[in-house]
Amino acid sequence: MSASVAPGPSHVAIVMDGNGRWASKRFLPRLAGHKQGVDTLKRVVRACFTRGISTLTVFAFSSENWNRPADEVSGLMDLLAGALAREVSQLKQEGVRLRFVGSRTALSEKVQQGLQQAESETAINTGLTLNVCFNYGGRWDIVQAASTLVKRGEAITEDSLDKMMALAPCADPDLFIRTGGEYRISNFLLWQSAYAEFVFSPVLWPDFSEDDLDTALTEYRSRERRFGKTSEQLR
């Protein structure tokens, strides 16, 4: 293997798409798909841990998702609160550090407290960092970073902007996976994905398995990551 071929990603980002369609195919309410998606996320977190991935970032709720039917949005909020209550203790034992990335201003006080408590309880863990992007949008992220610099009177440069992004201090994702058969990034990690390798899976998120993850990892390892250089330079 040449030195330019990626050995394996350290940071994986996933757009968990297809929950609603998974439920509709089974004549179930859309929320049933989201509940199944939580179980899939639990499996994928453990699979990433055993495969040496140090950071997993998932798109759980976008800033545009507020436009969905009110009952679905309410159900998603309840699902998040319930998942936090059930899963944080286990994640803590497994060495997972939880971070919630996104604007919290529109979230209820109950949800905000749950996010903060989950982050605090897992803050010392070093096994795997799980970034859950909730009420997040890539454009919002860039704007909030630039606004912070302006308020501080600091110059806006690539380096200073990068340090103010909501995902900081995490390194940029190496591999970006989107499930559900769609071929777009939907305002997710616009800044951070500049040099990510993209893999689009046709599998709906609730059906996404460890084998599907391995397929994406194999595809990633077959890529040559040049970062603007030539193959000859890398060799």
* Catalytic center residues: 17, 65
Contact 188, 62 (CB under 8 A): yes
Helix H or strand E encompassing 178 = strand 175-178
Contact 68, 31 (CB under 8 A): no
Among the listed residues 139, 156, 151, 201, the one whose alpha carbon sits nearest the alpha carbon of residue 176? 201
Q: What distance, in Å, lies between the first and last C-alpha atoms of the chain?
A: 11
68-75 long-range CB contacts below 8 Å, 24 or more apart? Answer: 72/30, 72/31, 75/31, 75/34
